[in-house]
C-alpha cells in the first residue's frame, strides 16, 4: 500500500514546475495521468536532447511513474475525453500560462460543476496583482522572488543559483498544498483551488533575507563579512557571497588540488561552541584566550582574516580529509561535491536518492529518486512514459469508453 494509493491525478503540467509536483505525488502512490498534445507532447521531450529522437533527460527525469495519454483539448471529441477525466480524477494539476485552461473551456467554475470534489491546483509565475498575466520561467522567478538580488558577491551583479528553486521549489510547494487539500476534503467533501505562485515560492525560500531587510533598520548586519571589512550597508539586503545565512560565520575555502580541480573546496563554519577546537586544529591555540578572538563579537571584524588563516590549513588537505578531521571534533563543514561525485556516491544509490533507470529507447540513465522517504510508503522509480503510451488503456480502463467509442474518438482526431 502507498500513501496516496487510489488518488487519481489529471496531470496537465509541462516543463518543470508542474511535473516536479506530479512526479512527487506519483512517488507517494497516486495514479498520475499526464495529458499531452497529440504528436507534440510536453515541450521538454525535445529540449536539450542528447540522443536524436529519444525523449530528453529533461523530460525523463521529471516524469517518472506517470502514464501518458494524448488528447487534443481543442477538438470536440478531445474535450469529451477531458471532461470524463475531470469527472473521474481527484486532482487537476496545471501550469499553463495564465488563462490557457479557461480558453480551453475548463475554468475553475466549469471544473467545479463537473466535479465538486476536484482539487484544482496551479503553478503560476505570480499571484494576483500587476504581473498575474506574465509567463514565467525559472530564472525570472529567482529574480523576482528575491533570490538573485541576495546571491553573488558584493562587488558583482545579481546571480541566479543552479538549484531550481523557482520551478522545482514551487512544484514542492504545490504538492504540499494538494496533499493538504486532499486531507481537508476528507472532512468537507469538496475540492478547492490551490495556487502556488513561483514568486511566492522563491520568496518563501528567501525568508531569512526578508528577516535581514528588517534587521537592517536597526543597524548593520554584523555577521555579514562586509561589516567586518568596514563596508557600509545600503538600504536593501546586499549580496553576501558565501557568508552563512545564520548566526555562525562560514565561508568556502580552498583545499588541496584547488589549482586544477574547480570543486576542491570546503564550506567551513566557525561555530562558537567549537572555537577552541578550531584554534588548536589550525595551529592558533593562542586565539582561544586572546580577547581579540576569544568571543564571537570580538571576532566579527576579523572574519575574513580568520578564514584566510583556516584556509592556509585546509589547503594542505583534500576536502574529504578536512571533513574526516573536522567531523569527530563536531566542527561543521561540507565538501563541495561535483555532480560527477554525487552520481558516483554509493550511499545515495543505497538510499534510492540516486537511481538507475532503464528506458526502452535511451537505455540506462541516472535520476534523482524521491528525496522524501516514507517508512510505510517506499517509492519505486519507474521510467517516464513514451508519448501517448497509455492512451488506449486510460480510455478503456479508467474512463470506460468502449472499443467502438475509442475508434470514433481516434478518427475524429480527439486523441
In the complex, the residues that contact ligand CAO under the rule CB under 6 A are 15-18, 35, 37, 71-74, 95-97, 100, 103-104, 123-125, 135-138, 167
Whether residue 78 contacts residue 414, with contact meaning beta carbons closer than 8 Å, is answered with: yes
- Minimal distance in Å, beta carbon 152 to ligand CAO? 22
Nearer residue to ligand CAO within complex by CB, 135 or 229: 135
Asked about 167 being catalytic, the answer comes back as: yes
Give me the least distance between CB of 349 and ligand CAO, in Å please.
Answer: 28
CB 123 within 8 A of CB 18: yes
Question: Are 201 and 166 spatial neighbours (Cβ–Cβ below 8 Å)?
Answer: yes
Q: Which is nearer to ligand CAO, 7 or 123 (CB)?
A: 123
Residue with cell 494524448: 70
Shortest distance (Å) from residue 365 CB to ligand CAO? 21
Q: How far is the CB of 187 from ligand CAO (least distance, A)?
A: 30
Q: How far is the CB of 199 from ligand CAO (least distance, A)?
A: 10
Cβ proximity to ligand CAO: between 88 and 309 the closer is 88
Instruction: From residue 150, give the alpha-carbon distance in Å to each of 160, 168, 170, 208, 238.
Output: 9, 20, 19, 10, 6
Angle between helices 167-188 and 198-205 (to 10 degrees): 100
CA diameter of the chain = 88
The distance of closest approach from Cβ of residue 272 to ligand CAO in the complex, given in angstroms and rounded to an integer, is: 41
Burial 264-287 (b: 16+ CB within 10 A, else e): bbbbbbbbeebbebbbebbebeeb
Query: C-alpha angle 69/74/412, rounded to 5°?
Result: 70
Strand 31-36, strand 66-70: pairing: parallel
**Of the two residues 101 and 118, which places its CB atom closer to ligand CAO in the complex?**
101
- Indicate which residue of 11, 31, 167, 212 is catalytic: 167
In whole angstroms, how close is the CB of 236 to ligand CAO at the nearest point? 26
In sequence order, what are the residues at sequence separation of 6 or more whose Cβ sits closer than 8 angstroms to the Cβ of residue 224? Answer: 233, 238, 240, 243
Q: Cα separations (Å) of 152 from 147, 149, 238, 311?
A: 10, 8, 9, 21
Q: Which is nearer to ligand CAO, 37 or 284 (CB)?
A: 37
Find the distance separating the first CA and the last CA of the chain, reported in whole Å.
32
The DSSP bridge pattern shows strands 250-254 and 8-12 to be: unpaired
**Catalytic machinery residues:** 167
Amino acid at each position: 500500500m502507498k500513501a496516496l494509493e487510489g488518488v487519481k491525478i489529471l496531470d496537465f503540467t509541462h516543463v518543470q514546475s508542474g511535473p516536479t509536483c506530479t512526479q512527487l505525488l506519483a512517488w507517494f502512490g497516486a495514479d498520475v495521468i499526464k495529458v499531452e498534445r497529440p504528436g507534440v507532447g510536453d515541450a521538454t521531450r525535445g529540449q536539450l536532447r542528447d540522443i536524436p529522437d529519444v525523449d530528453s533527460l529533461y523530460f525523463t527525469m521529471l516524469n517518472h511513474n506517470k502514464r501518458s495519454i494524448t488528447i487534443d483539448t481543442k477538438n470536440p471529441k478531445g474535450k469529451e475525453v477531458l471532461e470524463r477525466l475531470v469527472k473521474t480524477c481527484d486532482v487537476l494539476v496545471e501550469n499553463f500560462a495564465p488563462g490557457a485552461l479557461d480558453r480551453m473551456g475548463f475554468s475553475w467554475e466549469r471544473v467545479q460543476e463537473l466535479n465538486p470534489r476536484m482539487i484544482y491546483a496551479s503553478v503560476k509565475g505570480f499571484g494576483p496583482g500587476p504581473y498575474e498575466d506574465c509567463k514565467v520561467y525559472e530564472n525570472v522567478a529567482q529574480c523576482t522572488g528575491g533570490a538573485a538580488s541576495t546571491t553573488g558577491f558584493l562587488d558583482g551583479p545579481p546571480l541566479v543559483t543552479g538549484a531550481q528553486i523557482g520551478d522545482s521549489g514551487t512544484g514542492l510547494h504545490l504538492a504540499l498544498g494538494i496533499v493538504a487539500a486532499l486531507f481537508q476534503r476528507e472532512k468537507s467533501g469538496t475540492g478547492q483551488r490551490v495556487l502556488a505562485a513561483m514568486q511566492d515560492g522563491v520568496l518563501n525560500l528567501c525568508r531569512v533575507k526578508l528577516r535581514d531587510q528588517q534587521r537592517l533598520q536597526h543597524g548593520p548586519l554584523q555577521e555579514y563579512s562586509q561589516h567586518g571589512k568596514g563596508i557600509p550597508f545600503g538600504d536593501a539586503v546586499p549580496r553576501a557571497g558565501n557568508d552563512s545565512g545564520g548566526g555562525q560565520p562560514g565561508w568556502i575555502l580552498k583545499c588541496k588540488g584547488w589549482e586544477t580541480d574547480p570543486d576542491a573546496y570546503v564550506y567551513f563554519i566557525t561555530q562558537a561552541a567549537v572555537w577552541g577546537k578550531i584554534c588548536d586544529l589550525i595551529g592558533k591555540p593562542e586565539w582561544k584566550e586572546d580577547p581579540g578572538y576569544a568571543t564571537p563579537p570580538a571576532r566579527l571584524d576579523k572574519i575574513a582574516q580568520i578564514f584566510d588563516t583556516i584556509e592556509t590549513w585546509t589547503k594542505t588537505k583534500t576536502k574529504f580529509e578536512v571533513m574526516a578531521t573536522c567531523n569527530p571534533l563536531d566542527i561543521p563543514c561540507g565538501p563541495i561535491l561535483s555532480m560527477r561525485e554525487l552520481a558516483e556516491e554509493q550511499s545515495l544509490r543505497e538510499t534510492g536518492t540516486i537511481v538507475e533507470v532503464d528506458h526502452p529507447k535511451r537505455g540506462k540513465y541516472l535520476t534523482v529518486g524521491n528525496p522524501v522517504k516514507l517508512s510505510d510508503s517506499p517509492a519505486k522509480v519507474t521510467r517516464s512514459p513514451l508519448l501517448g503510451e497509455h492512451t488506449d488503456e486510460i480510455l478503456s480502463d479508467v474512463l470506460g469508453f468502449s472499443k467502438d467509442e475509442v475508434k470514433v474518438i481516434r478518427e475524429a482526431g480527439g486523441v
